[in-house]
Structure 1
Amino acid sequence: MSAPTDWATKDFYKVLGVKKDASADEIKKAYRKLARDNHPDSNPGNAQAEERFKAISEAYGVIGNAEKRKQYDEQRSLFGQFKGGFPPGGAGGPGGATYGGGVDFDLSDLLGGIFGGGGGTRGGGGRRRQAQPRRGDDLETEATISFRQAVEGATVPLRLTSDEPCTICHGTGAKPGTVPKVCSNCQGSGMQTSASGGVFAMTEPCSVCRGRGLIVEHPCDLCGGSGRAPSSRTINVKIPAGVKDGQRIKIRGKGAKGDAGAPAGDLYLIVHVEGDERFGRKGDDLTVTVPLPFDDAVLGGEVSAPTIDGPTVTLKVPAGTPNGRTFRARGKGGTRRDGSRGDLLVTVEVQVPSKPSDEMRAAVEAYRTARTGATS
């Protein structure tokens, strides 16, 4: 006799040659005829007849029984809603199947919950689901770096404090010399099942052990039975070039350690960037303002501007340059994430002498005379 988990892949009505709404008498009559025709005693040495006889007996054992027929019909109705029906024998291993949308699940687990068969998290004789290792928590911290570190990138030390597997009980939560016991409510699965009013059963973390599957009778003095305790450590984190003030960086695997070999969580670092007296930022470019003598603005000349990495850059200024004009020094800005360099945007600020000398005053008065004479 097949288990309930095999029923979804077999059409017992077709095996007996009857309709799905056939009466109990019609099913019985069809079975007797087929069984007589295919009985091994009537077909000695006929392996095909023997296999047909087994299939006929299996089909009648299910739909010939009122209670089993009801379960079978419910199961066929439930799974018949999945796109593509039922591939013979399932997929993905014994009892497994893949249905519409490419969703894989364990058929025996689902049907065990419905019919009390071999799957499920609770119940007599069923296999017990093992409690899954718990991934470490994600952590968040902050770091303040200089303007230059933000532009060029930097490696900074971070002090982290988090709850991690207890160093005394090694994550069991039990006092040394004792061991936790299996939770009697969930049988160690960490999950409990509640009926939803239909053929489906809802699973949720066990309310007694809170999903751990274990009960600690003698708690560890350090962690109080939780299996986790505060721990501090220092790590070095590489901050990429071009990071912005307030930017949140994800660093995989640097969060709290996981339980029972599970992976660590992630670390989220919020970066604060200090200001700089000389430089500013505009996208991937740096900005700087430099003084431009009045005569150079009128007659043309050169201006020197500092760069973030030290050496100055010299730019030519054409005659008649107005105050506030910006010049671009390509490749003299900060480092981008891809390793290339941004530009340095140099804005000139025309300088007017506050206390001109006699010679300077005379030169300006001559300029005024020439200007007014030219316009009169």
Structure 2
Amino acid sequence: MANKEFPFTGFTSLAIHAGHEQDPNYAHLTPIYASSTFVYDTAEQGMRRFSKQEEGYIYSRWGNPTFTEAEKKLAAMECFGITDATGKPLVAKALLHASGMAAISSLFLSNLKAGDQILSHYSLYGGTQETMDKVLPGLGIEAVIVDLRDLNKAEEALKAHPKIKMVYLETPANPTLQCVDIEALTTLAGKYGKLVACDNTFATPYLQQPFRYGVDFIVHSTTKFLNGHGTAIGGVLIGRDIEFMTTRAEKTMQLLGGNSNPFDAFLLVNGMRTLEVRMERHCHNAIEIANYLEGHPAVAKVNFTGLPSHPDFYLTTKQMRHPGAIMSIELKGGLEAGKQMMNRLLLCTRTVSLGTCDTLLCHPASMTHYGVPKEQREKYGITDGLIRMSIGMENVQDILIDLEQSLKGL
């Protein structure tokens, strides 16, 4: 086991070893601590733990050793190679949640109150969009949606809406792969004294580190590439303000009951250990497939940030290590062609979600964005015939063969 003070020079070394503490029974890997509660030697010790005078576990809704390794590993990956204003290595606090939406809920409810506004952009994940449309208004919190790829529009919104407290980014966005300039928007938000949060699910910390550009909070659906195998649902909220994260954010999570569980945390820890090598294969396959699809006669458009034809291609090269492994396509035959393609698949998997080892295809209009009104979806570029693809780790030639036979004659 690497000493926790070891100066990691590589991402995979960090992903394997960061956050691990030697188990009292000397297990190689942190065990699944399947215990709802924890005991104390004395009443006085229990008092010290409840008052936070002594570190230790109380109840698994409040924390669990298996959660702790996942949290420390996630924070270390998002901070890897980044220094703070004093030149010291950046330190952040992570809170593991039951899902990405639970993490987003903790983010919103720990930072926003009635009368506040949140500024965001088009083409967000459907669950996030519905939360802004259907949950936050009932709490007196209003979402202001503009095209944040236009910095002039972003500044106009900040000037026109002084009650905006947070700028919420998702880049690349789901499922159109639109990207926004994290650095430019964080600088602009700082000018007006606003918080910035970024959903980094599609990119993962290996491909993109929003803390490098000064954001305050990062959220992930750990269900996706971080777990990597489709075995567990989870989410994480990571923040730079340690005091806020250990007080208000942590208390919000505990009271809402959005904590993870030991089994899913264990699966996440083991998935993250291979993140770099998996992402390299995912990204290699994605570039070959995007080039193939862009030239296919049945395909009207390919949304993939690794193609020079994508409007955010150069921005992607600025803030991401690789373009990622998610793309979406629009077929010339529209909805019916999309149904036929999906029904013909032999190797690729028809399902929602993303980031697993196998290639996944879904139809956002009837799946992930079903709850978003058609007019609103199309405004965001999510047409009835859009197909989202999460490129897996299969041999790329096999993926191409399946796509070719499924698109034939459309």
TM-score w.r.t. the length of structure 2 is 0.21
Larger Rg computed on CA atoms: 1
Higher relative contact order (CA 8 A, sep 6+): 2
TM-score w.r.t. the length of structure 1 is 0.23
